[in-house]
């Protein structure tokens, strides 16, 4: 089930970020995004009432930027990420978004291929975006 995140989801989201990415945006940052940032949207994917994936983005006017997107490792490759991403795209489209930007590690071939499947293209390389690792900025039209 996909739903909007609530405050009690944040601890699990932080745990998942640390597990999947090795780092987290942090509880305080996520809490601020959820409760105080009017441009922020956070969706979770739950299975048996357990958060196993999430996607967060910021929307300003007709533009959106994905902050983080993950599916817990045991559940990857089962279409959950596609469902979550497509849900977010529908929400963006219904809110008037037509342009989506995201950043991804240059070594994350699985994520790059995933986004390319939806029409995203690499726009530029951002040196040291992930501490000591470069990132790609990708762009796609929301249709």
Q: Give the pLDDT confidence of 58-100 residue by residue, as tens digits.
A: 999 999 999 999 999 999 999 999 999 999 999 999 999 999 9
What are the strands of the beta sheet with 133-141, ordered from one edge?
A: 2-4, 40-47, 50-60, 63-71, 99-105, 133-141, 121-130
For the chain, the average pLDDT equals: 96
Q: What pLDDT shows up at residue 143?
A: 84
- Interatomic CA distance for residues 89 and 87, integer angstroms: 5
Whole-number pLDDT of residue 131: 85
Q: What is the pTM of this model?
A: 0.93
Residue with tokens 């950043």: 103
Interacting residues of 62 by C-beta distance below 8 A, sequence separation 6+: 96, 97, 98, 99
Name the nearest CA neighbour of 58 among 23, 29, 26: 29
Rg (CA), the chain: 14
């Amino acid at each position: 089930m996909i739903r909007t995140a609530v405050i009690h989801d944040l601890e699990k989201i932080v745990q998942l970020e640390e597990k999947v990415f090795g780092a987290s945006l942090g509880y305080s940052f996520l809490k601020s995004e959820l409760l105080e940032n009017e441009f922020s949207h956070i969706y979770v994917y739950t299975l048996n009432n357990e958060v196993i994936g999430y996607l967060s983005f910021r929307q300003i006017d007709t533009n959106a930027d994905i902050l983080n997107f993950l599916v817990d490792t045991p559940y990857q490759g089962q279409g959950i990420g596609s469902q979550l991403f497509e849900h977010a795209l529908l929400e963006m489209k219904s809110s008037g978004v037509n342009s989506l930007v995201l950043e991804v590690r240059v070594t994350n071939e699985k994520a790059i291929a995933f986004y390319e499947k939806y029409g995203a293209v690499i726009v530029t390389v951002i040196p040291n975006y992930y501490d000591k690792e470069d990132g790609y900025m990708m762009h796609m039209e929301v249709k």
